[in-house]
């Protein structure tokens, strides 16, 4: 609301000192509100500019690294969060070194989360290693869309319909609340591998490919047949 439209201001009479003292708090409150709104718009614009620059650098990095954190994860990670929140006039310089360092920290944290998901259903696995992530029996499922993911492709999964205030996709970092260890696939894969008289606790996906066992495809076909 414009100041001249405030009820305490929009009066057809001269402004006296006494009247000014009575409306002064209202005027100050209105000015402070407008100032806060203007600064918030400026901060949002600054964040959008910095986020766009970081997103462009991320696209460039995808040609050099197999796994790069999705933008929603980058936006909430340090040092990027502080850099994004900096004023637009600040001399912010996102570098490849920033991305590389972030990938190492990010992937270690993600791997630990995934291993905890596996351990919930496979108590025998060693959560201090990543070995179980490469097994042919290990697949993760997005509960929202039912999609299956192997490691490491699962690292870059985001649910596209959930949005932050910025309009960005919400990452599953750090709670893994949308991804689960697919127990049904795990049991199916174990049975299938054992039918070849092989050890499902040791067989990796690469080894399964050598036996021409595309377990995700076979599992999908088996589920379709069950539904028919």
pLDDT score for 12: 62
The phi-psi region of residue 167 (left if phi > 0; otherwise alpha if psi is between -120 and 50; otherwise beta) is left
pTM, entire model: 0.63
The answer to whether residue 13 sits within a structural domain is no
Between 128-132, 192-196, 213-217, the lowest mean confidence (pLDDT) is in: 213-217
Instruction: Please give the full DSSP string across 68-95, using - where no structure is assigned.
Output: ---HHHHHHSTTHHHHHTS-TTS-----
Domain holding 66, by residue range, is 39-227
Q: What share of the chain is helix, strand, coil (3-state, %, to 5)?
A: 55, 10, 35
Altogether, the residues listed in the chain come to a count of 228
Q: Which of 145-149, 161-165, 175-179 has the highest mean pLDDT?
A: 145-149
The answer to whether residue 4 sits within a structural domain is no
Contact partners, residue 33, CB within 8 Å, separation at least 6: none
Banded model confidence at residue 199, pLDDT cuts 50, 70, 90: very high
The answer to whether residue 24 sits within a structural domain is no
The answer to whether residue 10 sits within a structural domain is no
pLDDT digit string (tens) for 207-227? 888 877 777 766 765 554 443
The answer to whether residue 26 sits within a structural domain is no
pLDDT digit string (tens) for 56-93? 777 777 777 778 887 777 787 777 778 788 776 777 77
The answer to whether residue 179 sits within a structural domain is yes
């Amino acid at each position: 609301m414009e100041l001249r439209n405030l009820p305490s201001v929009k009066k057809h009479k001269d402004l006296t000192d006494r009247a000014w003292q009575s409306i002064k708090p209202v005027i100050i409150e209105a000015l402070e509100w407008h100032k806060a709104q203007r600064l918030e718009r400026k901060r949002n614009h600054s964040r959008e500019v910095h986020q766009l620059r970081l997103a462009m650098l991320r696209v460039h990095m995808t040609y050099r690294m197999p796994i790069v954190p999705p933008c929603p994860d980058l936006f909430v990670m340090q040092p990027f969060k502080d850099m994004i929140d900096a004023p637009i006039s600040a001399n912010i310089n996102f570098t490849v070194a920033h991305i590389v360092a972030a990938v190492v920290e990010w992937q270690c944290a993600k791997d630990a989360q995934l291993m905890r998901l596996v351990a919930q259903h496979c108590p025998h696995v060693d959560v201090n290693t990543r070995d179980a992530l490469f097994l042919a029996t290990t697949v993760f499922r997005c509960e929202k869309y039912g999609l299956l993911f192997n490691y490491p492709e699962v690292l870059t999964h985001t649910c596209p319909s959930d949005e932050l205030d910025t309009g960005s996709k919400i990452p599953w970092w750090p709670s893994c609340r949308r991804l689960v260890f697919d127990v049904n696939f795990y049991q199916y894969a174990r049975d299938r591998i054992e039918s070849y008289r092989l050890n499902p606790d040791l067989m990796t996906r690469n080894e399964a490919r050598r036996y021409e066992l595309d377990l995700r495809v076979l599992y999908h076909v088996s589920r379709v047949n069950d539904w028919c």
